[in-house]
Amino acid sequence: MSFLPYAVAAWLFGVGIYGVATSRNLIHLVVCLTVVQSGTYILLLAIGYVGAGKAPIFADIPLNSKVVDPVVQTLTLTDVVVEATVVALLLALAMQAEKRFGTLDPDELGVMRS
């Protein structure tokens, strides 16, 4: 089942996009966005995996050990940080929307603007 991690990544991506497009609540929409991003973590880590490789930390393994790719792990770290901040910002925007329009339903936001 060597394609399984890729299948999981694609599934999370698709399901998340579907959730974002059909969401009826801004908080739910933000959570769906995190599902999309979870797909990118799985994808990055799956790409970098080397069969039977160890973590790229040489504190207690010999220098010539086989390790997984450190670059994609670094990219995943960046991904996580960006996601956390974007989610925080989007939640603040959702609170503003709720305050201004009295609803969290994206469909009603435009209608109530008048």
Partner 1 sequence: MSRRARLWLLAPALAGTMALVVWGFTGLADFGHFQGAYGNLLAKVAVPERKATDIVVSTTFDYRGFDTLGEEMILFTAVLGLVVLLRELRGEQEEEEEAHDDQEGHAGREHRTSDALRIFGFGMVGPTVVLGVYIVTHGTLTPGGGFQGGVVLATALLVVYLAGRYAAMRKVSPLPLLEAGEATGAMAYGLIGLGGLIIAGMYMKNFIDPGTKGSLLSGGFIPLLNIAVGLEVAGAFSLAFQEFLDQTILLRGDGGSE
Residues making contact with partner 1 (CB under 8 A):
2-6, 9-10, 13-14, 17-18, 21-22, 46-52, 55-59, 63, 67-74, 77-78, 80-82, 84-86, 88-89, 91-93, 95-96, 99, 107
Task: Find, among 75, 82, 10, the residue nearest to 39 by Cα.
Answer: 10
The smaller minimum CB distance to partner 1, of residues 3 and 114, is found at 3
**What is the DSSP-derived secondary structure letter of residue 90?**
H
Q: Which residues share a beta bridge with 67?
A: 54
The smaller minimum CB distance to partner 1, of residues 96 and 112, is found at 96
φ/ψ of 54, rounded to 5, equals -95, 170
CA-CA-CA-CA torsion sign (46, 48, 54, 59): negative
The smaller minimum CB distance to partner 1, of residues 58 and 112, is found at 58
Task: Find, among 91, 79, 82, the residue nearest to 31 by Cα.
Answer: 91
**CB of 51 vs partner 1, minimal distance in Å:** 4
The smaller minimum CB distance to partner 1, of residues 100 and 114, is found at 100
**CB of 1 vs partner 1, minimal distance in Å:** 9
